[in-house]
Amino acid sequence: MDTRLLRTFAVLARTGSFTAAAAELHLAQSTVTVQIRALEKELGAPLFDRLPRGALVTGAGRRLLAEAERVLEAEARLRSVAAAEGPVAGRVAVGAGETMCAARLPGVVAALRRRHPEVDVDLRPVGTAAAVEGLRAGELDLALLLEEEVDVPDVVVKRLGREALVLVCAPDHPLAARRDSTATWAELAQESFFLHEQGCSYSDRLARQLSAAGEAPTRLTRFGSIEAARSCVAAGLGLTVLPRVTVRAALDEGRLAVVAGPPLPDVPVQLARHRRRWVSPAVQAVVDELKQHFPAEPPRSRAS
């Protein structure tokens, strides 16, 4: 069996679109159609239902997908062994939240291109739930999660470091001028907040703390974009909490100010991958580079 057909099948199953699959595989859409028909004929079963909104995997297709991915992984291992003396090469799909994609991963990709120019990184902005599902479905090779704990079957995690959080407001906000005391949770609960979307661990935690501290519900606005939340705060509309790395430039330039408030725990950065998937040389190269670009965790003090 031609493994090119299996690769086309796997990509189409993931994207659900002949157009998207053709673009990812650098093929004409008609070629994707021909290859899928050839695979269906060879296997004697329909793999997709062709619908107006795209291609939906059939029951037979779902049963085949896991086996097809194992064959493709075995092929990748063979190619890796054959090319052991050559440069590390391949495409690695990395899922991460907007914080990581915007603030940390560009530097990782730039360093990786210098060290391993034939390794391509496909960055996909996703939340924790989508990242875990992407790992389990074989759509992602790695994921970066801003979570305290990750306990998911078939997903193994390794803590890379921690990101410091900071509570910020506009420079002319009344809380920015307070120097004699810190704001309490009760005081903060009376402010308007612009937070990252639900599912963001540190935003959800802050929302719970504000809810517990206030007599009336805190006015919360959620955004799918960190930049949107940051812009609203810079305009003087309220406060937000974000990793310091995402607002460092705005703080240095005076477009945002730090609010003196209750201490905020750092958020862990977890590197996740599927437990049973092969770690290719390209994936390992990305892992090694990621380890170099995240703040190391401070050593834990020993009890005396």
**CATH, residue 244:** 3.40.190.10
Could you say which of 32, 66, 85 is where a domain stops? 85
Residue 303 falls within a domain, yes or no?
Answer: no
Residue 304 lies in a domain: no
Nearest to 144 by CA among 108, 96, 106, 85: 96
Is the residue at 150 inside a domain?
yes
Do both 175 and 248 map to the same domain? yes
Q: Which of 60, 85, 110 is the last residue of a domain?
A: 85
Kindly state whether residue 138 falls inside one of the protein's structural domains: yes
In this prediction, residue 295 has a pLDDT band, given cuts at 50, 70 and 90, of: low
Assigned domain for 9 exists:
yes
> Which residues fall within 8 angstroms of residue 290, CB to CB, at 6 or more apart?
108, 142, 144, 160, 271
- Distance (Å, rounded) from C-alpha 246 to C-alpha 228? 12
pLDDT of residue 191: 93
* Shared domain check, 248 and 183: yes
Residues 276 and 242 in one domain: no
Which structural domain range is residue 154 located in? 87-162+267-298
Residue 77: which CATH number?
1.10.10.10
Residue, of 155 and 74, whose pLDDT is higher: 155
pTM for this structure?
0.69
If asked whether residues 95 and 118 sit together in one domain, one would say yes
Same domain? For 225 and 102 the reply is no
110 and 155 in a single domain? The answer is: yes
Residues 184 and 147 reside in one and the same domain: no
Domain stop point among 59, 85, 111? 85
pLDDT grade for 293, boundaries at 50, 70 and 90: confident
CB-CB contact of 10 with 18 (8 Å)? no
Tokens in use for 39?
Answer: 């695979």
pLDDT digit string (tens) for 34-91?
999 999 999 898 999 988 888 889 998 888 888 887 887 777 777 666 555 667 888 8
Same domain, 43 and 94: no
Query: What total number of domains does the chain contain?
Result: 3
